[in-house]
Amino acid sequence: GESVGLHLPTLSVQEGDNSIINCAYSNSASDYFIWYKQESGKGPQFIIDIRSNMDKRQGQRVTVLLNKTVKHLSLQIAATQPGDSAVYFCAETTSYDKVIFGPGTSLSVIP
């Protein structure tokens, strides 16, 4: 079946460094992609989204890049902070359809 997957299940970065979390998706019909952050004991929290007609979108300290040619999505976090430690999920959907989540990447920030 169609799925969204991550290349790295765990990532450790030094505080202040930039983090890059990668994601591969398989449904070429997906037109909307979202990154979520999930802290222990909480529900997923929306970080940033991007539509398929874009290849880059920036937020506060975060940037999402979309490469439709190779079906790849990445989340870049600038100047990573201890509060960024969490599990990060990429998710894909076609408009108004179910959201498919990847398995998640655990980001650990080393003080």
Say which residue the tokens 């997906």 belong to: 30
Q: Which of 42, 53, 70, 83 is in the footprint of another protein by CB under 8 A?
A: 42
Number of helical (H) and strand (E) elements in the chain, helices listed first = 0, 11
Q: Which of 22, 24, 27, 49 is in the footprint of another protein by CB under 8 A?
A: 49
Looking only at residues 85 through 104 of this chain, which bind another protein when binding is defined by CB under 8 A?
A: 89, 91, 93, 95-104
83 binds another protein (CB under 8 A): no
> Among residues 14 and 45, whose Cβ is nearest to another protein?
45
The most distant pair of C-alpha atoms in the chain lies apart, rounded to whole Å, by 41
Q: Which amino acid is at 33?
A: F
46 binds another protein (CB under 8 A): yes
Evaluate whether 30 touches 92 at the Cβ level (below 8 Å): yes
Give the 3-state secondary structure of 55-66.
CEEECCCEEEEE
> Among residues 35 and 77, whose Cβ is nearest to another protein?
35
Q: Which chain residues interact with another protein by CB under 8 A?
A: 32, 34, 36, 41-46, 49, 89, 91, 93, 95-104
